[in-house]
Amino acid sequence: MASAAPTAAAAGGAQEKADLGAWLAVAAGTLGAMMATLDISIVNSALPTIQGEIGATATEATWIATSYLVAEIIIIPLSAWLERVLGLRTLLLIAAILFTGFSVVCGTASTLTMMVIGRTGQGFTGGAMIPTAMTIIATRLPPSQQPIGSAAFGVTAIAGPVIGPLLGGWLTEEFSWHYAFLINVPICVILVTLLLVGLPHRKMKPELLADADWLGILGLALGLGGLTVMLEEGNREQWFSSAFIVQLAAMSAFGFVLLAIGQVTSARPVIRLSLMFDRSFGSVMVMALMMGMVLYGTSFVIPQFLAAIADYNALQAGKVVMLSGIPSMMLMPFTPLLMRYLDLRVAVAAGMLILAMSCYVETTLTAAADGGDFVVSQVLRGTGMILAFVFLNQAAISSVPRENAGDAAGLFNAARNIGGSLALASLATIQEQRMWLHTRRIEELLQANNLAVQDHLAGMTEMLGSAEAALRAISGTIMREALVMTYNDLFWLLAVGTVAVTPLVLFLKPLPKGISAAPMH
The one-character DSSP state at 199 is S
CB atoms near residue 206 (< 10 Å): 9
| Cα torsion 112, 129, 86, 89: sign | positive
Which pLDDT does position 512 carry in this prediction? 61
Burial of 242 (0-12, 13-18, 19+ CB in 10 A): middle
For residues 465 and 87, what is the distance between their CA atoms, to the nearest angstrom? 74
Q: HSE of 62 in the Cβ direction (CA atoms, 13 Å)?
A: 10
What's this model's pTM, rounded to 2 decimal places? Answer: 0.74
The residue ranges of the chain whose pLDDT is under 50 are: 1-15, 514-521
For residues 386 and 155, what is the distance between their CA atoms, to the nearest angstrom? 7
User: What are residue 145's phi and psi, to 5 degrees?
Assistant: -115, 0
Of all residues in the chain, what percent carry a pLDDT higher than 70?
88
For residues 392 and 402, what is the distance between their CA atoms, to the nearest angstrom? 16
For residues 69 and 61, what is the distance between their CA atoms, to the nearest angstrom? 14
Cβ-contact 328, 388 below 8 angstroms: no
* CA angle, residues 105, 106, 112, in degrees to nearest 5: 110
DSSP three-state, residue 364: coil
How many helices and strands (H and E) does the chain possess? 19, 0
* CA angle, residues 79, 233, 110, in degrees to nearest 5: 75
Question: Could you please report the per-residue DSSP string of 417-455?
Answer: HHHHHHHHHHHHHHHHHHHHHHHHHHHHHS-TT-HHHHH
Which pLDDT does position 453 carry in this prediction? 63
CB atoms near residue 205 (< 10 Å): 11
CB atoms near residue 461 (< 10 Å): 16
Cβ-contact 376, 361 below 8 angstroms: yes
Which pLDDT does position 467 carry in this prediction? 64
Which pLDDT does position 475 carry in this prediction? 74
Which pLDDT does position 175 carry in this prediction? 84
Which pLDDT does position 454 carry in this prediction? 63
Q: Summarize pLDDT for 125-150 with one digit per residue, the tens.
A: 988 887 777 778 777 777 777 777 77
Q: Summarize pLDDT for 449-486 with one digit per residue, the tens.
A: 666 666 666 777 767 667 677 677 777 778 888 888 98
For residues 502 and 30, what is the distance between their CA atoms, to the nearest angstrom? 28
293: part of which helix (H) or strand (E)? helix 279-309
CB atoms near residue 435 (< 10 Å): 17
